Amino acid sequence: MRERGNELGKRIVGIVAICACVIMGGSNNAGARQDYEHEFPSGQCALTGTGAESLTPLPNHAPSIGNVKALTLFIDFPDVRDTAGVQVRHDEFFPQTQNWYKSASFGKMVYENNPVLRYFTMPQSFRSYGVARGSAEATYARLIRDLISVADKDVNFAGYDIYNVIATPNAGAEQNTVLSVTWQMEPFVTADGPAFRNTSFVYNHQDVDGNTANRYRVLVHENGHTLGLPDLYPYADEPDQVGHWDVMSSDWGANNDMLAWHKWKLGWLENTQVDCVTSPGATNHSLVPVARPGGSKIAVVKVSDSRAMTVEARDLSGNDEGQCGQGVLISWVDTTVASGSRPISVHNANPGSSLKCDKPSMSWENNRRFVEAPLKVGQSFQAPESGAVVEVSAQNSDGSYQVKITRS
């Protein structure tokens, strides 16, 4: 079994962020609905391809703009009964998950959480289901069918974008073994109509160095799959190439945001906030850090229809409050690569950094290597593949960075 970051388990991309509406239990919504039109990525730098990072809209995923409805259910088993109470388990994830998505999307996504505040005891023992890292779809289909059988008389399952199935934390494996997974399947038949197309399963705690405040982040990651985002860490036993710069790479410990590419993909950035660099010559860019609203967010240096170099600014604001390094981050995107096969790689501008970062999970090797990956003011990077030189000349008083990109 592997810790997340060298995970061999299969994940399938699915719908949007986390919410839950129910017949039982009150709603817990993160603000009133605001109407935003989903502006899909367009222009010369909107890469195409059949891989996980293609900007082509995917079918059957949850919306990432406006209200996203999720049904959150809690389960235990005859051989592993809950001992702490459902409210305690619920409060590990909400409203933190809602607040995370509100901040990451700049308020464009409203995450509705309407939980059923009780545990449904599954008809079979936990051991009999054979849940393990990398379990096949049939295992989870059986769990869903059994959950429907015990809860259908009490819960209206129809009409949700995301389904969260959260198990009692004492079911499963050791704390550092990750079982959580998201599946996209054909809808299941319930008394209320089709349901459970996109389902995130969460099991034990993910504590780091005694920190319990950020347990919710595994649900942020899993619901990211329901939005259509891939795993950025490698499934094979290979070095991670993103570190803590995206929650789809690292969801343990300290808080972090998403790469600008993912925010563009989800419609949280407008096309006018993307600087597309395709022609030879020098261009100047004022990049506002990804976690802050407004301004230009990303410069995309197109190499081919399926590959690009991206340039973005990161600081310690918003969901990036848990970072230690800051500056101008350079990444490579390949839209022919599958989830779990490193579709995005971050350039490490300061691989020999001695910066001490004592925040939870940042001492781990994969994260520590990339703590100071961004370019600092006065640094530059020459990328032979893209024929571009990136120079960081200044940081403005508003926190944005002045970047010069020269293509040959």
Query: pLDDT value at position 284?
Result: 98
In a domain, 368, yes or no: yes
Is residue 377 domain-shared with residue 293, that is, in the same domain? yes
Percent of the chain scored above 70 by pLDDT? 87
pLDDT (tens digit per residue) in 241-291: 998 999 999 887 788 999 999 999 999 999 999 999 999 999 999 999 999
How far apart, in Å, are the Cα atoms of 191 and each of 70, 113, 123, 162, 328? 18, 22, 19, 18, 52
d(CA 223, CA 113): 13
Is residue 214 domain-shared with residue 280, that is, in the same domain? no
pLDDT band, residue 3 (cuts 50/70/90)? very low
In a domain, 23, yes or no: no
* Helix pair angle (96-104, 217-227), 10° resolution: 50
Catalogue the long-range contacts made by 79-84 (C-beta closer than 8 Å, 24 or more residues apart).
Answer: 79/125, 79/126, 79/127, 80/125, 80/126, 80/168, 80/170, 80/171, 81/119, 81/121, 81/168, 82/119, 82/168, 82/170, 83/168, 83/170, 84/168, 84/169
Is residue 139 domain-shared with residue 192, that is, in the same domain? yes
Please say if the pLDDT value at position 303 is more than 90: yes
- Range in 12-21, 43-52, 209-218, 334-343 with the lowest mean pLDDT: 12-21
In a domain, 362, yes or no: yes
In a domain, 163, yes or no: yes
In a domain, 43, yes or no: yes
Please say if the pLDDT value at position 365 is more than 50: yes
Is residue 206 domain-shared with residue 311, that is, in the same domain? no
Is residue 287 domain-shared with residue 157, that is, in the same domain? no
Please say if the pLDDT value at position 24 is more than 50: no
Is residue 360 domain-shared with residue 310, that is, in the same domain? yes
Query: pLDDT value at position 299?
Result: 98
The answer to whether the CB of 15 falls within 8 A of the CB of 111 is: no
Is residue 326 domain-shared with residue 390, that is, in the same domain? yes
Query: pLDDT value at position 15?
Result: 27
d(CA 331, CA 107): 26
Is residue 195 domain-shared with residue 296, that is, in the same domain? no
Is residue 223 domain-shared with residue 264, that is, in the same domain? no
Is residue 264 domain-shared with residue 222, that is, in the same domain? no
Strands 298-304 and 281-287: unpaired
In a domain, 152, yes or no: yes
pLDDT band, residue 363 (cuts 50/70/90)? low
Q: What is the mean pLDDT of the chain?
A: 87
- Report CA dihedral (132, 20, 141, 55) to the nearest 10 degrees: -80
The answer to whether the CB of 28 falls within 8 A of the CB of 18 is: no
pLDDT (tens digit per residue) in 179-196: 899 998 899 999 999 999
d(CA 314, CA 83): 41
Query: pLDDT value at position 30?
Result: 47
Please say if the pLDDT value at position 127 is more than 80: yes
Q: What are phi and psi of 142, to 5 degrees?
A: -65, -40
Q: When comparing pLDDT for 407 and 3, which is higher?
A: 407
Is residue 169 domain-shared with residue 265, that is, in the same domain? no
Q: Mean pLDDT, to the nearest integer, of 171-178?
A: 67
In a domain, 254, yes or no: no
Query: pLDDT value at position 132?
Result: 84
Instruction: Return the number of other C-beta atoms located less than 10 Å from residue 367's C-beta.
Output: 27
pLDDT band, residue 4 (cuts 50/70/90)? very low
Q: When comparing pLDDT for 222 and 177, which is higher?
A: 222
272: DSSP letter: G
Q: When comparing pLDDT for 120 and 40, which is higher?
A: 120
Please say if the pLDDT value at position 25 is more than 90: no
Provide the token pair at 276.
């597309």
Q: What are phi and psi of 382, to 5 degrees?
A: -105, 125
pLDDT band, residue 16 (cuts 50/70/90)? very low
pLDDT (tens digit per residue) in 310-327: 999 999 999 999 888 999
pLDDT (tens digit per residue) in 87-124: 999 999 999 999 999 999 999 999 999 999 999 999 99
What pTM was computed for the model?
0.89
Please say if the pLDDT value at position 13 is more than 60: no
In a domain, 233, yes or no: no
Q: Mean pLDDT, to the nearest integer, of 397-408?
A: 96
Query: pLDDT value at position 251?
Result: 85
Of 105, 115, 90, 158, which is closest to residue 22 (Cα–Cα)?
115
pLDDT (tens digit per residue) in 373-393: 999 999 999 998 778 999 999
The answer to whether the CB of 122 falls within 8 A of the CB of 150 is: yes
Q: What is the CATH number of the domain that holds 176?
A: 3.40.390
How far apart, in Å, are the Cα atoms of 148 and each of 38, 122, 135, 145, 195? 33, 10, 20, 5, 10
Q: In which domain, by residue range, is 305 found?
A: 260-407
Is residue 59 domain-shared with residue 204, that is, in the same domain? yes
Please say if the pLDDT value at position 32 is more than 60: no
Report how many domains make up the chain: 2
Size (the chain), residues = 408
Percent of the chain scored above 90 by pLDDT? 70
Query: pLDDT value at position 138?
Result: 92
Query: pLDDT value at position 2?
Result: 23
